[in-house]
Chains A and B, each alone.
Chain A
Amino acid sequence: MNTSQIDVTATSAAPPHLERRVWALEQRQSRFAWLLVLPSLLLIALFIGYPVVYSFLLTFSTFTVQEVGWFNAGLSNYERVLGDRAFAGALSFTLLYTLVYVPISVGLSLLVAVLLQQVKIGTSLFRSLLFIPTVIPITMGLLMFQWVLDNNNGVVNNMLRDAGLGHLATNWLGDLDTVFGSLVAVTLWGFGPWILMLAGLLGIPKDYYEAARVDGTTPWQEFLYITLPQMRNTLVIVTTLQVIKALKLFVPIYMLTGGNPAGRTQSLYYLVFLKVNQGQNWYAYASTVGWVFTALVLGFSLLTTFLLRTRRD
């Protein structure tokens, strides 16, 4: 507060009584601003700030129902996590899912957006229909698939049997060979964030396409030489969002597989959730997995922020 007083008196050439009024106004504004910000800050400090610090310290500590042994554990929690087979399994499953899901979802969302950008008939109908998965709460969409893919009464197996392909019918979400593919397919329902892609496409000036058309380009050339270069930033942003979303894979596992069959579909996020709910003796372990995961996500975000910055320059 004192520095702002000095600033005002130093820079203004107004007569003294006005100076005092400006200063009083600034003080009043600053006090009012803090009044407005304070309730939010308190809640955030209590439920985000304090937990972040607490869980970070917990990764170096032991936790039992009776007591917290601050800094008793040294790095042993990290050693335990990194040497743990469950963690290794969850890490490789999560990374594999990310590697498969992200390219397909980015490609599909771009495809849908380009189709919607180019089509001139029934545009709003197509948009509304493709928007439906966004409107449906995610858990309900997933339950729907649990049942469409059901072994006995699911419509997919039924159609296969009707088509004489009964040997292909299987327990899609319960079989080791098919569960991964089924999870990827189910989470691709809705074709990813095509809305963001479309917003990016609509931002490209129309003259570019008109000028190209005068020169007699094909749609494929338009896509290659106008759309793709113009969409570079949107593509980087959407890819980043999808990577983070894929790394945080949780709700589909919770609703559809529960980490099974044979614990093969435990994502990192789900592993932490599972351990937290196994009781207080697992709290230190769960926090450590959580922080390793956080390091992964933050590292990736920093990388893309850096990429975006350098590309813009």
Chain B
Amino acid sequence: MLKRFRAYDSRYQFMLVVALTVLCFITIAPFIWVILTAFKPNSEIYTTDLHLLPQNWTLEQFGEVVQKGDKLPRYVWNTMIYSVTTISAVVLLSSMAGYALALLRFKGAQIIINSVLLILSIPWIILVVPILIFEFRLRIWNTQIGLILPYIALFLPMAIWIMRGAFLGMPSELGEAARVDGANEFTVFSRVYLPMAKGGVATVILLTFIDIWNEVLLAASLVINPQIANINTGLRILADEGQSFAFGVLSAAILLAMIPTFIVFIVLQRYYVRGISEGALAGF
């Protein structure tokens, strides 16, 4: 009986491994293709006789990325600026607001919490026209600050929700003890509670980072100057230039542009699942 069960089990495991191997292959095959293409000379890319492995390994595509450009490195640099400024502001403001909404008692807190939840379900698309008009009038349309400010505002509700969640379970006795010892409200926030919310901060950093590196709608509407384009609209521009920025260079560019996201993911990956679960559930 037990023996039959074991035999059944190992055959079952074998089937699982085969199925997963197929799924993994489908997942990484196009990615591997891009990696290998980045190391091929143009003659091996524009041909009907394609080979999987480069026949002559070369770094010329990477060389061309760097030569052309000031272009791709500039888009990556711009996106870094957008993410670093936005994330700093979002982390600062959302930990302040999240702390107040979770641990301080004040009139109107519940209304603010409900509004944040409501805002999370609003599609960004209806915000674009008014923000455009608004920015025309303030003369900040097509400037870096004109993209950073809406980014901060639009990523804040989700961040506040996550930070509030991070502060919510913390015991109020800690703050009261500090207050008895003569600490003022700001010290209670910055020295007692904030250091305990590191997990929340990491989650906010990771989610905001991912969102900015995937953001197209605002980047394409609020900025048309290629000098300050972000990576996504920038790659679209490069792809549209077609002949001058061809597949080989493009795949090298894609590989280089992925490095920052890879690094951030490797450092912060353990906050990812928790983050998307919290974010996903926020609307309910």
Contacts and interface: CB of A to CB of B under 8 A. Distances in A.
Contacts of B107: 1, 3-4, 30
B227 interface: no
B234 to A, nearest CB: 9
Interface string B213-252: 1101100110000000001100110010000000100110
B145 interface: no
B97 A36 contact: yes
Interface residues of B, number: 86
Interface residues of A, number: 93
Contacts of A195: 272-273, 276
B123 A294 contact: yes
Nearest to A4: B107
B270 to A, nearest CB: 12
Chain A contact surface mostly: helix
A119 to B, nearest CB: 4
B84 interface: no
A144 B216 CA distance: 17
Interface string B90-130: 00011011011100111101001000000101110111111
A293 B154 contact: no
B122 A48 contact: yes
Given A50-B130, A121-B17, A132 B216 contact: no
A224 to B, nearest CB: 16
Given A37-B100, A37-B112, A269 B125 contact: yes
Contacts, number: 258
A139 B119 contact: no
Interface string A268-310: 0100110011000001001100110110011001001100100
B261 interface: yes
A168 interface: no
A147 B247 contact: yes
Interface in A113-127: 115-116, 118-122, 126
A115 B16 contact: yes
Contact of B235 (A47, A112, A135, A139): A139
B276 A33 contact: no
Contacts of A48: 119, 122, 127, 153-154, 157
Interface in A190-239: 190-191, 193, 195-196, 199, 219, 237
Interface of B: 12-13, 16-17, 19-20, 23-24, 27-28, 30-31, 33-34, 45-48, 50, 93-94, 96-97, 99-101, 104-107, 109, 112, 119, 121-123, 125-134, 149-150, 152-154, 156-157, 160, 179, 185-186, 189, 213-214, 216-217, 220-221, 231-232, 235-236, 239, 247, 250-251, 254, 257-258, 261-262, 265, 272-273, 276-277, 280-281, 283-284
Contacts of A269: 123, 125, 217
24 contacts: A32-B186, A33-B104, A36-B100, A36-B189, A40-B93, A40-B97, A40-B160, A43-B152, A118-B12, A137-B231, A139-B231, A139-B232, A140-B254, A146-B239, A150-B247, A153-B45, A195-B273, A195-B276, A248-B123, A251-B216, A255-B239, A286-B129, A301-B121, A304-B284
Interface in A43-72: 43-44, 46-48, 50-52, 54-56, 58
Q: Which of A47, A54, A134 has the most CB of B within 10 A?
A: A47
Contacts of B99: 36
A28 interface: yes
B112 A137 contact: no
Given A52-B122, A286-B129, 4 more contacts: A32-B185, A37-B97, A51-B127, A153-B46
Per DSSP, are chain B's interface residues mostly helix, strand or loop, or mixed?
Answer: helix
Q: Name which of B134, B185, B273 has the most chain A CB atoms within 10 A of its CB.
A: B185
B273 A199 contact: yes
Given A26-B105, A140-B258, A241-B280, A43 B31 contact: no
B123 A33 contact: no
Contacts of A286: 128-129
Contact of B31 (A3, A136, A290): A136
Interface centre among B50, B119, B160 (most CB of A within 10 A): B50
A129 interface: yes
Contacts of A255: 216, 232, 235-236, 239
B134 A50 contact: yes
A119 B186 CA distance: 50
A176 interface: no
A57 to B, nearest CB: 10
A153 B247 CA distance: 9
A132 B20 CA distance: 14
B45 A290 contact: no
